């Protein structure tokens, strides 16, 4: 399926691509799209996910978009800022109750040119510790903040 789906996406034939992916689970769709993006690195992959999001916003699609922008498409200017949008939407759509989505914000704080500032990282880490009291990455953010003061 990947080859034909790849062709539809790269040519902007999103309706045909959507038909090809209709029967896939979220996990299968994610795998297919990641494989395609790693093989051709086209922004069309992101555009396809965005077209799916326009039809129906889901946390799973935002998560796919996030992962596309921090992995195969991270070299694009603004990729981490696009990823930040999707990370924040995941957090909002899950009412700040999913540590995995919160940790995406900490990831965007730890990259060489962070797109998440100190205050947002601090608040995110505090929320993560409410959910998982022994979360190591969250503790590191809090400890770093207290050491600087």
What DSSP letter does each residue of the chain carry, written as one string? Answer: -HHHHHHHHHTT-HHHHHHHHTT--HHHHHHHHHHHHHHH--THHHHHHHHHHHH---HHHHHHHHHHHHTTTTTSTTHHHHHHHHHHHHHHHTTT--HHHHHHHHHHHHSSS-SS-HHHHHHHHHHHHHHSTT-HHHHHHHHHHHHH-
Among candidate residues 77, 104, 132, the one where a domain is terminated: 77
pLDDT of 149 higher than 60: no
Among candidate residues 20, 42, 77, the one where a domain is terminated: 77
pLDDT of 2 higher than 80: no
Q: Please tell me the pTM assigned to this model.
A: 0.93
| Residue range(s) defining the domain that contains residue 107 | 94-149
pLDDT at 102: 98
pLDDT digits (tens, 9 = 90+) for 34-53: 999 999 889 999 999 999 99
């Amino acid at each position: 399926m990947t080859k034909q789906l790849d062709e539809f996406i790269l040519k902007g034939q999103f309706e045909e691509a959507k038909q090809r992916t209709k029967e896939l689970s979220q996990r299968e769709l994610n795998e297919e799209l990641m494989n395609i993006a790693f093989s051709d690195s086209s922004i069309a992959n992101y555009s396809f996910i965005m077209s799916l999001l326009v039809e129906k916003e889901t946390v799973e699609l935002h998560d796919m978009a996030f992962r596309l922008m921090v992995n195969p498409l991270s070299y694009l200017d603004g990729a981490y800022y696009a990823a930040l949008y999707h990370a924040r939407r995941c957090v909002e759509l899950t009412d700040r109750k999913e540590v995995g989505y919160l940790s995406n914000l900490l990831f965007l704080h730890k990259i060489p040119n962070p797109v998440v500032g100190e205050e947002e990282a601090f608040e995110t880490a505090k929320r993560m510790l409410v959910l998982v009291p022994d979360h190591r990455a969250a503790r590191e953010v809090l400890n770093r903040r207290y050491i600087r003061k």
